[in-house]
Amino acid sequence: MLLGWGNRRGVSAFPPKVIEMEDSVGRYDFYIGLGLALSSSLFIGGSFILKKKGLLKLSSRGAVRAGLGGHAYLKEWMWWAGLLTMGIGEAANFAAYAFAPATLVTPLGALSVLVSAVLASYFLNEHLNIHGKIGCILSILGSTVMVIHAPQEEEVSSLESMAEKLKDPGFIVFAVCMLVSSALLIFVAGPRYGHSNVLVYVLICSAIGSLSVSSAKGLGIALKELFAGKPVWKEPLSYLLFICLVISITIQINYLNKALDIFNTSVVTPIYYVLFTTAVMTCSAILFKEWQHLVLMHIIGTISGFLTIVLGIFLLHSFRDIPFTADLLPLFLKDNQTNVRAASWRKGDKHQSCLHQPLLDSEDTHKEGTEKAEEQYGQSL
């Protein structure tokens, strides 16, 4: 634990053995939540590959594609395997909120994009360029940093404590702001700017999504208590959280599909991940006080890990359709050009400092190099 239970609750109030037992239980729950979040990313990332393989098999047989209104995929077992795998991954992600802080679980969802990209390069022959490989490495590094520095203490462990947290004035103000801003975006900004600005629909999904994660975490705690033998079905809060979760997920799916239908996926996905994760981390900090006992070093580490994941996802998505090979490197970095320039340097004015030597000898050389680079780029395509 980042801070001992004795420092938080007082050593005199609890015997050392009780404090040690509670500390062990807290760490055990944290690792369970971490394992569920990681397995969720593996299942969800793999589900995209299975469904894509199923759709490609149907396309090779001449069946009507799903994008053209066909439903032949319902008879393909591999597509159903992908759907089942995604269901398992979403269930694992839902269960992870009952054991680990949302500040940790939500950012780790980006690993499903990484898993999907890596598996696609092996099983779907989709080339992963240098930007994508760097993005994968950065995502792994950022996730590792977040795991090391993320809060491990759980402030909400029962529905009673959840009800008390929901009455907090800070969360009430936050929830009202999210709902009002979402209503303005839906009814005012959406009809005017929704088809021209990608932020409109993505902001709606992010604002509502922060509340859906809170509902999911509350339901996860309720299920955890149900398996422990407590009569949670008698609690009205359980039904309220379930209704809020269904409504918020419905709104998210609706406006996320609109954003994906209008704008490029490589643009929507990174922006949605950044805004959604930021909203969830803010909501968790206000509602569950997950950052309350973190020292400055761990706060900086958590934020740095998140920003590293953001950079990795950006590189993985934004440049995935750009062929980046050695042929596209600047001509003056190639061996033959380097040798030519070295030879010209030896034959040229030796009194001129190398710091003042121009990168290109003349305007004609620049034009010739540009034409050659364009020709090579066309050949690579």
pLDDT tens, N- to C-terminus, the chain (381 residues): 333 334 444 444 455 554 455 555 567 788 888 899 899 989 988 887 887 787 777 777 766 555 555 566 677 788 788 888 888 988 888 888 888 888 888 888 878 878 887 888 788 777 777 887 888 888 889 888 988 887 765 567 788 888 888 888 999 999 999 999 999 999 999 889 988 888 999 999 999 988 988 888 888 888 888 888 788 778 888 899 999 999 998 898 888 878 877 887 667 777 888 888 889 888 888 888 877 777 888 889 888 988 998 888 888 777 766 666 545 555 545 555 545 444 444 444 444 433 334 434 444 444 455 454 445 444 444
Cα dihedral: 17, 20, 22, 27 (round 10): -160
Take residue 350 and report the two structure tokens written for it. 């030796």
Q: Determine how many CB atoms are found less than 10 A away from the CB of residue 253.
A: 11
Question: Which stretch of DSSP H or E encloses residue 91?
Answer: helix 77-96
Cβ density class 91-126: b for 16+ within 10 Å, e for less: ebbbbbbbbbbbbbbbbbbbbbbbbbbbbbbeeeee
**Which residues are CB-neighbours of 173 under 8 A, at least 6 positions away?**
none
Of 265, 273, 267, the closest CA to residue 306 belongs to 273
Take residue 198 and report the two structure tokens written for it. 């990608």
Contacts of range 219-222, beta carbons closer than 8 Å, 24 or more positions apart? 219/94, 219/245, 220/94, 220/95, 220/96, 220/97, 220/98, 220/99, 221/98, 221/156, 221/157, 221/158, 221/159, 221/162, 222/159
Q: What pTM value is reported for the model?
A: 0.68
Q: What is the pLDDT of residue 30?
A: 82
Taking the chain, what is the end-to-end CA distance rounded to the nearest angstrom? Answer: 53
Take residue 307 and report the two structure tokens written for it. 């920003």
Q: Tell me the one-letter amino acid at 72.
A: A
Q: Quick one: CA dihedral 235, 240, 241, 245, positive or negative? A: positive
Take residue 256 and report the two structure tokens written for it. 């996320």
DSSP letter at 64?
P
Q: What is the pLDDT of residue 270?
A: 76
Q: What is the pLDDT of residue 366?
A: 45
